Structure 1
Amino acid sequence: RKPGFTLGAGILPFTHADYIGEVRESGLSYLSAIKNATQYRQISDDITLNAYAAYIFGLIDLAFPDGRPVGFWFNQIKQALYLIDSGLDPQIIANVIEVQMLKEYGVEPNWRGCVIDGRADLPLDFSESYGGLLCQNHWDKDPHRLHASPRAIFYLRRFSTLDLNKVERINVKLDTKAELRRILDVIYTDMVGVTPKAKRFLDQMHQWQDRLPDDSE
């Protein structure tokens, strides 16, 4: 960035603004003005929040090739960044995006109920083979089901339809968060087959945190 560059504030990472310019199919495109620039300062200053935001953008980049409109996802990601920047749990917000974005990769698990009989009044578990949930009556159909806890399944089902604009607070236990991470990692590795670069850093970060001594002991 050159000294005196008047558009500088609007092109910083994690900045939302109204951009005016010309986009050309060939040759150079350019910006002529930037208005209403707002930077997500907490995300910019915190390495953990930064990593989760980068991961969310990575999911978008892999799902939408350059030039393809993101549609609904523009406001959804904008709200996700706002919530993260406001101090809400970044992992859970990223998990919501992960669950809802599965359909953009051509993977749309049935979260409503058992894929065989539709029941949702019995304990449920996730089956990769069946592409969704199995009720307890049909667990024998897939010995390799994910053996998820009822609470993890509850959150995954909730995430699939959650409106981030209505989220005001998040309070999820650490063991449930770890299980959600495990389940979604399996789904994205085995059923989607994509891994944003930021995911590797997040995994390393979790490993570092797991090695820290427990202050409660």
Structure 2
Amino acid sequence: MQTKESRGLVLYSRPYREEDRLVKMFTEVSGKHMFFVRHAGKSKLSSVIQPLTLADFILKINANGLSYIEDYKEVTVFKAINSDIFRLSYASYLLALADAAVVDGITDASLFAFLVKTLELMDKGLDYEILTNIFEIQVLERFGVQLNFHECAICHRVGLPFDFSHRYSGLLCPDHYQQDAYRSHVDPNVIYLLDRFQNMKFEDLKTISLKPEMKQKLRQFIDLIYEDYVGLRLKSKTFIDELNKWGDIMKDHPIKD
């Protein structure tokens, strides 16, 4: 068992026996591990083992079993996210997606930094739907999925009104639409945005503003990509889908005083 100091982000916490808890944490220097916290309610750690808590931890890492949290400092709580059910549901989905994307115990400092930065921007009020889309597209490679949203799979031309082909796992330009009779017929603007999302820098996010119809098209197409290429259906994603339906109902039927 090794003692390490690392930034860590709590992914989830669940009861274990009567008073103890198991805490899944994504650490910057050692990847994801499950930590055992004894008498969690009375422990000095009680305030930092809640999901979406980021802190500098002193940890005892066990490669083959449960690990332990020795101490902590420099705690960050995403207050704006936790105060809004929509942002919270999307942030929870990002945690679950990151958890699914890498094997426990494998260090992935770049994914850790990407996840933390995405949450920070979400907490600052940037569009949580677009942030989630960007995270989903950029994390695809962690699932072994490499899709080119930049050029035609046949002639490699760029900058055209592309469509997506599952047959070629890539794009077709208008000259090659006939190569796949079952092409997606997706809005070319969706493909354009996904191409941007694959390499987008966080500084560019402040310039992006999308209409609800385009967000819906993005959501539907990314869901299709995950269904066909990843085969992943997380409970937190199902909750988002249901929550969005409730949100639409509330918009259509606002509560009157």
Matched letter for residue 23 of structure 1:
I
Equivalent of 1:74, from 106, 109, 112?
112
Match of residue 89 from structure 2: 51
- CA RMSD in angstroms, aligned pairs only: 1.8
Alignment-mate amino acid for residue 228 of structure 2: D
> In structure 1, how many angstroms separate the alpha carbons of the residues matched to 2:78 and 2:251?
31
Query: Which residue in the other structure is 2:11 paired with?
Result: none
Q: Pick the structure with more strand per residue.
A: 2
State yes or no: 1:149 paired with 2:187: yes
Matched, 1:10 2:52: no
Q: Which has the higher helix share?
A: 1
The answer to whether the aligner puts 1:33 opposite 2:71 as a matched pair is yes
Question: Which consecutive unaligned segments of at least 5 residues does structure 1 have?
Answer: none
Q: Percent identity?
A: 37
Q: Pick from 221, 230, 234: which aligns with 1:196?
A: 234
Q: Given the superposition, is the C-alpha separation of residues 139 and 13 from structure 1 closer, same or farther in structure 2, using an over 3 Å criterion? A: same
Quick one: structure 1 residues 70 and 119, their matched pair in 2 at CA, closer, same or farther if it must change by over 3 Å?
Answer: same
User: Whole-Å Cα distance in 2 between the matches of residues 168 and 18 of structure 1?
Assistant: 29
Q: Given the superposition, is the C-alpha separation of residues 65 and 27 from structure 1 closer, same or farther in structure 2, using an over 3 Å criterion?
A: closer
Inter-partner Cα distance in structure 2 for 1:30 and 1:213: 46
* Residue 111 (structure 2) pairs with residue 97 (structure 1): no
- The code of the aligned residue for 1:190 comes to D
1:126 partner letter: F
**CA gap 1:198/1:116 in 2 versus in 1, 3 angstroms:** same
Report if aligned partners of 1:76, 1:164 keep a CA contact under 8 Å in 2: no
Higher RCO structure, 1 or 2 (CA under 8 Å, sep 6+): 1
Paired with 2:251 and 2:79, the residues of 1 have a C-alpha distance of 30
State the shift of 1:26 in Å: 4.6
Q: Following TM superposition, by how much is the alpha carbon of 1:30 offset from its aligned partner in structure 2, in angstroms?
A: 1.9
On the 8 A contact 1:127/1:144 being kept in 2, the answer is yes
Return closer, same or farther for 1:83/1:175 CA change in 2, 3 Å cut-off: same
The partner residue of 1:129 within 150, 153, 167 is 167
Q: Which amino acid aligns with 1:109?
A: L
Code of the residue aligned with 2:205 in structure 1: it is V
Contact 1:128 1:191 in 2 (8 A): no
